[in-house]
Structure 1
Amino acid sequence: MPPICTSHMPWSIDGPPEGQETIFKLFYGYAQSTNRPEITVCNSFLDAETTAFELFPDIVPIGPLFADQELRKPVGQFWPVDTGCLKWLDAQSCSSVVYVAFGSFTIFDPRQFRQLAEGLELTGRPFLWVVRPDFTTGGLSKEWFDGFQSRVAGKGMIVSWCPQQQVLAHPALACFVSHCGWNSTTEGVRNGVPILCWPYFADQFANRSYICDIWMTGLAVTRGEDGVVTKEELISKLELVINDDGIAERVRMLRDAARRSLSKGGSSYENFLKFVSLLAE
């Protein structure tokens, strides 16, 4: 398993200490519960975490999981989905769009929000950005955001939520700017999309380590001394991750490995059959 900085442990989150204590107790409970079940299944695949599965042979990978082959069934949707973004993607060039989504919990302060927005604008690339209603704290004026949307109209699309599995499978995608939640990570892997990592808390830092250091299928943003990722940093890292031929090749190799694991006779396929058989006993 990749090494992890102590400040990036799953319970290390911004906010009051009692929040960290609550998350620590939650993860401690997870750890204590692992000796109880007869089998533990997980949403991963053998080639993604070979060493970890060697260390923990009782954990059985059956992923990467998804709703159905045609991606018609939405899963895990927390907000009303804007499917209009799929038509917008259809109108974009192949491998041109930067997709930006930070999951269900990440919150940006106004300064970071503005740096991200201005960075996306200055890339000159088409982008699809998921901005939840609660994505940022107070402090952003409606006039500023309206002005931003007016400037990027036609080049960028902003939605409150989207059908992510379908978006990541779209040929217009060039890169995924992600918080590195595990669902998002596996969906990016399965669809062969390079990832620019921007982790927030919990397992996301470990997932970043897999993406950047183990699989080498993406890069990570670096925060300044004030904790803010600048627009210049975003622009620079986006160009690097999109134009790196080595990353592109490794992304394809990991995608193919994920798909083989799900195919008949693959490791995840066989593990899933064993799991079903166990349930049927």
Structure 2
Amino acid sequence: MGRPHVMVIPYPAQGHVLPLMSFSRYLAYQGIQITFINTEFNHNLIINSLSKSSHDDYMGDRIKLVSIPDGLEDSPEERNIPGKLSESVLSFMPTKVEELIERMISERDGPIISCIVADQSLGWAIEVAAKFGIRRAAFCPAAAATMVLGFSIQKLVDDGLIDPDGTPRVNKSIQLCPAMPKMETDKFVWVCLKNRESQRNIFQLMLQNNKSIESTDWLLCNSVYELETAAFGLSPKILPIGPIGWAHSESTSLGSFLPQDRDCLDWLDRQIPGSVVYVAFGSFGFMSKAQLEELAIGLELTKRPVLWVTGSGDQPPLKLVSDRVKLVRWAPQREVLSHRAIGCFVSHCGWNSTLEGAENGIPFLCIPYFADQFINKEYICDVWKIGLGLERDERGMVPRLEVKKKIDEIMGDDGEYKKRAMMVKEIVVKSIAKDGISHDNLRKFVKWIKS
């Protein structure tokens, strides 16, 4: 019998591809053959970004990158229309994945698929696996609390908090149980897009996923049991295996849509330990020019060195960038956050960033924008108490003095936030060490794949 072979299917967005690629690398290290499915558009971004880094990232022949069309135009304009992607994910991609599996099965010499690991937000992929009689696992790249919120949809409808199409009926803050983070009904994961049609698409996707997940063999979550005890208590079927990047700490850019700028690590080497404010808002921008200006001036007022990652979106006005500010388009974030120079992380609170900051003992300044980022911010500020949120003024803007005040508070002399962040780091490290809960769950999963 050959090596076990796992097909991995992420939701086609950067924040989903990266953790599933890390998971794939972990499985490949355990001697498992991986076929990783991207859309053609994302596949090309990944290949083009790789050209500047080492091709060893492929791990020999153990990870095979395969692409399928997603039915969208290549223009960024179409791709950035809210809800357009979730629509194509629902209507176009399932057939393409099915055709691919059929092709692989009909090639006599091709490897037998031992298991399909699909992003938890792709319920249809679980159904496709079931149709072919292939074993299946769902992987959640977000907090367990986000998944538990999805599982609670029917109860929210019954309690009169939302309409059957997901629209909030009341504007209030709720907790799914006492130790869970607070959630605002008008900021539920599916609500935060201004566009009604895309809200409906995402809500439908979540309802469909709830159904599909019932038939999965494993429900894995890139999280840490001790950081989300209440959420895992509410839904014991969810198994924590995070943070999933730890298993191979050497640098990798495989899965990144943009080439990483490694010069910023040399720049960090020249800074005083704990002095740098790291600013990164994920892979796509969401800030108005006026807000970027307030943020840039606020950072300048702190008189601290700043490493600012602009991604494919937010670019601070260049006239406001001083010699204390290092601008890069994309950074090797895991390495940046583990660098001794970093003192604070100004973040949109995406889950990957939240975990990477937490596992390195870094305090946060939070500017969430949509989807699960509000839940993650609640964890950071109210549950773990390792960061602060920013208050908006009557224009809905975060003013410059608010930015300066909060950074000074987080990086202040008493070091309270840093102390708590280091305690959280210890919790994470324990979970992924031998005998830790995440470590054990991963081991059991690999054993199952090989059985």
Structure 2-normalised TM-score?
0.58
Change (3 A) 1:30 1:75: farther
Change (3 A) 1:198 1:66: same
Match of residue 187, structure 1, among 356, 361, 379? 356
2:280 is the alignment partner of 1:110? no
Paired with 2:250 and 2:392, the residues of 1 have a C-alpha distance of 35
Cα pair 1:71 1:165 within 8 Å, conserved: no
Partner of residue 319, structure 2 = 147
Paired with 2:378 and 2:211, the residues of 1 have a C-alpha distance of 25
Paired with 2:312 and 2:238, the residues of 1 have a C-alpha distance of 37
2:280 is the alignment partner of 1:101? yes
Partner of residue 222, structure 1 = 391
Match of residue 80, structure 1, among 255, 259, 269? 259
Partner of residue 237, structure 2 = 58
Letter of the structure 2 residue corresponding to residue 218 of structure 1: G
Change (3 A) 1:106 1:6: farther
Partner of residue 434, structure 2 = 264
Structure 1-normalised TM-score?
0.91
Structure 1 residue 14: Cα displacement: 4.5
- Secondary structure of the 1:272 match is helix
Cα pair 2:390 2:398 within 8 Å, conserved: yes
Partner of residue 196, structure 2 = 17
Paired with 1:242 and 1:31, the residues of 2 have a C-alpha distance of 42
Cα pair 1:129 1:157 within 8 Å, conserved: yes
Deviates more, 1:253-262 or 1:8-17: 8-17
Runs (5+) with no aligned partner, structure 1: none
Cα pair 1:196 1:220 within 8 Å, conserved: yes
Paired with 1:85 and 1:248, the residues of 2 have a C-alpha distance of 23
Paired with 1:178 and 1:213, the residues of 2 have a C-alpha distance of 16
Partner of residue 253, structure 1 = 423
Partner of residue 41, structure 1 = 220
Letter of the structure 2 residue corresponding to residue 37 of structure 1: T
Cα pair 1:67 1:75 within 8 Å, conserved: no
Match of residue 156, structure 1, among 305, 325, 347? 325
Match of residue 443, structure 2, among 258, 268, 273? 273
- Secondary structure of the 1:134 match is coil
Structure 1 residue 17: Cα displacement: 2.2
Partner of residue 170, structure 1 = 339
Deviates more, 1:45-54 or 1:73-82: 73-82
Cα pair 1:100 1:178 within 8 Å, conserved: yes
Paired with 1:59 and 1:201, the residues of 2 have a C-alpha distance of 24
Paired with 1:81 and 1:88, the residues of 2 have a C-alpha distance of 14
Letter of the structure 1 residue corresponding to residue 359 of structure 2: R
Match of residue 314, structure 2, among 128, 135, 160? 135
Structure 1 residue 132: Cα displacement: 2.5
2:298 is the alignment partner of 1:119? yes
Paired with 1:28 and 1:135, the residues of 2 have a C-alpha distance of 33
Higher relative contact order (CA 8 A, sep 6+): 1
Letter of the structure 1 residue corresponding to residue 265 of structure 2: L
Cα pair 2:307 2:327 within 8 Å, conserved: yes
RMSD over aligned Cα atoms: 1.7
Structure 1 residue 11: Cα displacement: 1.7
Structure 1 residue 68: Cα displacement: 4.7
Partner of residue 4, structure 1 = 183
Deviates more, 1:189-198 or 1:33-42: 33-42
Structure 1 residue 29: Cα displacement: 3.1
Cα pair 1:67 1:73 within 8 Å, conserved: no
Cα pair 2:286 2:313 within 8 Å, conserved: yes
User: Which protein has the larger Cα radius of gyration, Structure 1 or Structure 2?
Assistant: 2
Letter of the structure 1 residue corresponding to residue 250 of structure 2: L
Identity %: 42
